[in-house]
C-alpha cells in the first residue's frame, strides 16, 4: 500500500520575544493512501499545529514532511504553495466561502486557482450531487444552512482531486444532525473514491467514523 504522507521527527517551536513554546516534539507518522485518520487530543496538544505543517501553511523548526513523494521541508515558499495547490484540499471549522459567489461559483474559483482554466461543469455537478447539493448550485452562502455551507466547503476541497484532504474540526460549528451528514459525506468520499482524509477533532463520535485514531499529548503522538 502506498504511503501518501510521512513525517520524520517533526518539531515546531514558536518564539515570541525571548519566550519559546515547543508545540511539536519529534512527531513521526505515516498515512497510507485511502486512509481516513482522526487526530485527537486536548486543546494545546499540538494537533492543529501538526495539521498546518502537513498542509504547508507553516514551516517546521526541524524534521521532514513528505507529501505524495515531495519533501515540503526542502522546497522554497513558492514551491510549497504549489504543492499545496496541487495536492491538498482544506476543510476548516469556519467555512471560508466567498459570500458573493454561488455554490457553483465557489467551486469554479477553486478550479481556476488550481488549473487556471474554467474548470469542468460536469465534475462540479457530480461532486455537488454526491454531497446532496444539486438543488443548491445557484445559491450563495447566506442562502444556505450551516451544514450546507460546510458541504460546499467540502466540495471545494475535493473538486480538484487532491492527494489528501486536511480537515480541522469540520463539524465544530454544526449541530448534531448536520455533523452526522457531513461525516457521512467524508465516509462516502473515502469509501467510494479512496480519498485520503486526515481530520482533527475533539469529538469521539466523529473520530469513530475513521479507520484509525492518532492521539496526541504535549506535542507528541502517544497512540496511533
Q: What are the E-state strand segments in 68-219? A: 70-71, 88-92, 164-168, 196-200, 212-217
Q: pTM of the prediction?
A: 0.89
Per the structure block, which three cell numbers stand in for 114?
Answer: 488550481
- Please say if the pLDDT value at position 119 is more than 80: no
Q: What percent of the chain has pLDDT over 90?
A: 42
SS3 166: strand
CA distances from 81 to 55, 87, 182 (A): 9, 10, 27
- How far apart CA 91 and CA 53 sit, in angstroms, is 15
State the average pLDDT for the chain. 89
- Please say if the pLDDT value at position 9 is more than 70: yes
Q: Could you report the per-residue pLDDT of 36-84, keeping only the tens digit for each?
A: 999 999 888 999 999 999 999 888 999 999 999 888 878 888 888 888 8
- Please say if the pLDDT value at position 92 is more than 90: no
- How far apart CA 139 and CA 104 sit, in angstroms, is 8
Q: What are the E-state strand segments in the chain? A: 3-16, 19-32, 36-40, 62-67, 70-71, 88-92, 164-168, 196-200, 212-217, 220-223
Give the pLDDT mean for 27-35: 95
* CATH tag, 3-96+162-223: 3.40.50.300
pLDDT at residue 93, as a whole number: 77
Helical (H) or strand (E) element with 86: helix 77-87
- Please say if the pLDDT value at position 18 is more than 80: yes
Helical (H) or strand (E) element with 182: helix 176-193
Measured N-to-C along each axis, helices 103-115 and 77-87 cross at an angle, to the nearest 10 degrees, of 130
- Please say if the pLDDT value at position 182 is more than 90: no
Confidence of residue 101 (pLDDT cuts 50, 70, 90): very high
pLDDT at residue 44, as a whole number: 84
pLDDT at residue 185, as a whole number: 86
Confidence of residue 117 (pLDDT cuts 50, 70, 90): low
- Please say if the pLDDT value at position 151 is more than 90: no
pLDDT at residue 127, as a whole number: 83
- Please say if the pLDDT value at position 118 is more than 70: no
- How far apart CA 147 and CA 10 sit, in angstroms, is 34
Confidence of residue 116 (pLDDT cuts 50, 70, 90): low
Amino acid at each position: 500500500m502506498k504511503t501518501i504522507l510521512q513525517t520524520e521527527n517533526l518539531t515546531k517551536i514558536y518564539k515570541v520575544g525571548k519566550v519559546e513554546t515547543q508545540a511539536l516534539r519529534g512527531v513521526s507518522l505515516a498515512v497510507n493512501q485511502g486512509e481516513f485518520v482522526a487526530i485527537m487530543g486536548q486543546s494545546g496538544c499540538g494537533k492543529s499545529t501538526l495539521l498546518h505543517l502537513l498542509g504547508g501553511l507553516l514551516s517546521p523548526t526541524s524534521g521532514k514532511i513528505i507529501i505524495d513523494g515531495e519533501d515540503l521541508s526542502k522546497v522554497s515558499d513558492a514551491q510549497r504553495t504549489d504543492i499545496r495547490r496541487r495536492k491538498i484540499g482544506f476543510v476548516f471549522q469556519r467555512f471560508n466561502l466567498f459570500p458573493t459567489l454561488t455554490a457553483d461559483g465557489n467551486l469554479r474559483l477553486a478550479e481556476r486557482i488550481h488549473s487556471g482554466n474554467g474548470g469542468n461543469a460536469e465534475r462540479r455537478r457530480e461532486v455537488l450531487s454526491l454531497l446532496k447539493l444539486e438543488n443548491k448550485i445557484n445559491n450563495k452562502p447566506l442562502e444556505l444552512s450551516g451544514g450546507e455551507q460546510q458541504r460546499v466547503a467540502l466540495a471545494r476541497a475535493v473538486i480538484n482531486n487532491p492527494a489528501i484532504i486536511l480537515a480541522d474540526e469540520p463539524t465544530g460549528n454544526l449541530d448534531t444532525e448536520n455533523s452526522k451528514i457531513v461525516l457521512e459525506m467524508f465516509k462516502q468520499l473515502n469509501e467510494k473514491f479512496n480519498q485520503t482524509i486526515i481530520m482533527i477533532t475533539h469529538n469521539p463520535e466523529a473520530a469513530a467514523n475513521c479507520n484509525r485514531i492518532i492521539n496526541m499529548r504535549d506535542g507528541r503522538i502517544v497512540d496511533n
